[in-house]
Amino acid sequence: MEQLITIRTFTYPHEIYVIRGKLESEGIRTFLKDEMTVQVHNFYSNAVGGVKLQVFAEDADKALDILDSVKEIPQEVIVLSKKEFENSTSCPFCHSGNISRMRKSNWLTLIPYLIVGFIFPVYRSFYICFECGKRWKIKK
């Protein structure tokens, strides 16, 4: 009997899909544990320890190598205080001016995310840097 090994856990299922797609494309079968629980009740994600991405024990080494090689797109929106982010025209992380303010209500800005297949977390508005990919919002 084959043993399943958890190679990574995620808070929300949408974070998994890109990585899972990559593993599957490399011929590794993946399994999600607790996916349904978390999808139905997001609040339970922490309670059940997140969604677990699992592979067969024999694939674990290869899967971990692939995970290491994948440059992940930062998904987190970092919350900054107003003090930390006084200048709203450049990225606080790499100081690039190539940033944009995103709003949930503006569907045009969401289209790139829909194409890549992310279910984007609901934030009223946040900033994104197109240079380093970081996202942040300002604490009120």
Stretch that binds Zn ion, among 11-19, 79-87, 111-119, 131-139 (CB under 5 A): 131-139
For 42-85, the three-class secondary structure string (H helix, E strand, C coil) is HHHHHHHCCEEEEEEHHHHHHHHHHHHHCCCCCCCEEEECCHHH
The smaller minimum CB distance to Zn ion, of residues 66 and 91, is found at 91
Q: Does 128 bind Zn ion (CB under 5 A)?
A: no
The span from the CA of 64 to the CA of 122, in Å, is: 30
Per the listing, tokens 């503006």 go with 106
Stretch that binds Zn ion, among 13-21, 70-78, 110-118, 122-130 (CB under 5 A): 122-130
Q: With contact defined as beta carbons under 8 Å apart, do 127 and 99 qualify?
A: yes
Q: Does 34 bind Zn ion (CB under 5 A)?
A: no
Closest distance to Zn ion from the beta carbon of 133 (Å): 7
The span from the CA of 67 to the CA of 71, in Å, is: 8
Question: Footprint of Zn ion on residues 79-98 (CB under 5 A)?
Answer: 91, 93-94, 96
Q: With contact defined as beta carbons under 8 Å apart, do 120 and 106 qualify?
A: no
Q: Does 77 bind Zn ion (CB under 5 A)?
A: no
Adjacent-strand bridge partners of 3? none
Closest distance to Zn ion from the beta carbon of 90 (Å): 8
User: Which member of 10, 50, 129, 136 binds Zn ion (CB under 5 A)?
Assistant: 129
- The footprint of Zn ion (CB under 5 A) covers 91, 93-94, 96, 129, 131-132
